[in-house]
Amino acid sequence: MSNCVVLELHRNSTNWAKVVEDIVRLEKKIFPKHESLARSFDEELRKNNSGLLYIQLADGEVAGYVMYSWPSSLLASITKLAVKENYRRQGHGEALLEAAIQKCKTRNICRISLHVDPSRTPAMSLYKKHGFQVDNLIKSYYSSDRDAYRMYLDFDVD
């Protein structure tokens, strides 16, 4: 992982279009069409209270990203976390999740929630490793035959 860095995508970044294009390509590859934000990705990122962190390798390639939002001052949600297949199991997902958690902490968020397919074992392990707990099983969340766990991570409030 020494050749990567977690970056934040800002609306006025000169590389906005290229990074979004790379992420949309990744989004189309990883997620089924009905789960993909590929068609509305740019729009999603332009919303207030949303953020995107990504890992860019030394050659400029985007290896992964995490999209999150904070709809209220107390709650944040991780809406997407994805790493390119050939860069998995190298700590990129962990680096992205940790960076997103830190960003939320700086906003004094009390809880981060997310949804994950219970069959995605590596994702489940990653979230549990970072203290996320299963809140509920939501039947047919992704599709009629795919459920999701709603998971959360609470922070102590001073």
Structural domains of the chain sorted by starting position, each given as residue range(s) with its CATH number in brackets: 4-154 (3.40.630.30)
Return the structure tokens found at 52: 């995107």
Mean pLDDT (whole number) for 126-150: 90
Per residue in 97-111, pLDDT tens?
A: 999 999 888 888 889
Return the structure tokens found at 93: 């997902």
Instruction: Check residue 25 and give its pLDDT.
Output: 82
Per residue in 11-31, pLDDT tens?
A: 677 777 788 788 888 877 877
What are the C-alpha distances in Å from 92 to residues 4, 52, 87, 155?
Answer: 8, 15, 7, 23
Query: What is the residue type of 74?
Result: L
Measured distance CA(86)–CA(29) in Å, rounded: 12
Per the model's pLDDT, the better-predicted residue between 140 and 31 turns out to be: 140
Instruction: Check residue 72 and give its pLDDT.
Output: 78
